Amino acid sequence: MNKFLRRSEEKELMDDLDCNGWVLAQTLKELRTINKLLGGNKVTTSGLKLLMNSSKNDSFTLADLGCGGGDMAIHIKKWAIKNRIKLEILGVDANPNIIEFAKERAKEENLTIDFVEANVFDPEFLEKPVDIQTCTLFTHHFTSDELVVILKNLKRQTKLGFVINDLHRHFLAYYSIKWLTKIFSKSRMVKNDAPVSVLRSFQKEDWEDILKASGIVDYKITWHWAFRWQVICCI
């Protein structure tokens, strides 16, 4: 059977919310490098630009879901400062150990970003709505049925819209990252999770089905290098 036909439900090592220590630190470091080299961060900020330009707001609030070690939240904050955009950011992750890494990184960068431990399946994980939410390399960690629940929550908790940045399930993406991490990675977690994450990710039809089931009709799906889907949803 062609393993690229359907989304895999195989768990990643990083899905263990108790993971910590050197392995977690090395993994976060390597993921930061991979995303920077492959240009994945721009997929999120270009989506933010489109949402913000469609609004009359002079300032924004943003929640970055599955924030991990804070890389995307920090990148967005620097991007906002560079473009003179008033932006308050809240990073959200269910792993308390990762949240501590994110807080330290923001402190090292001298940036004001709030980070909280929270579960996105808790209906009250965001007590107050925010203008925009972002999900970068986060959604592939969930089944399609779970994503329908999450997106319905995003609709309720977001004023303007949200930007999803995640992987394209493609054989070139799979074998490229599998061999690159096998040769260069020092992290067992990265070597295991990188190719698994591709198998758990999406083709365009997957996103269309998930968005339809979530009741979202105003959206745009765009492919970006390297093997990324950008999904912009307007509320």
The chain-wide mean pLDDT, for the chain, equals 93
The 158-167 sheet, strands edge to edge = 114-117, 86-93, 59-65, 130-136, 158-167, 228-234, 219-224
Predicted confidence at residue 211, as pLDDT, reads 98
The mean pLDDT value for 11-28 works out to 84
The mean pLDDT value for 56-67 works out to 96
Between the alpha carbon of residue 38 and those of residues 126, 136, 162, 228, the distances in Å are 31, 14, 22, 10
Between the alpha carbon of residue 142 and those of residues 23, 151, 198, 209, the distances in Å are 23, 12, 13, 15
pLDDT, tens only, 193-215: 999 999 999 999 999 999 999 99
Does the pLDDT value for residue 30 go beyond 70?
yes
Q: Give me the domains of the chain, ranges plus CATH numbers.
A: 13-234 (3.40.50.150)
Beta partners for residue 229, in sequence order: 166, 223
- Residue 24 confidence class, pLDDT cut points 50, 70, 90: confident
pLDDT, tens only, 66-80: 999 999 999 999 999
Could you tell me where the beta strands, DSSP code E, fall in the chain? 59-65, 86-93, 114-117, 130-136, 158-167, 219-224, 228-234
- Residue 220 confidence class, pLDDT cut points 50, 70, 90: very high
The mean pLDDT value for 24-31 works out to 84
Does the pLDDT value for residue 1 go beyond 60?
no
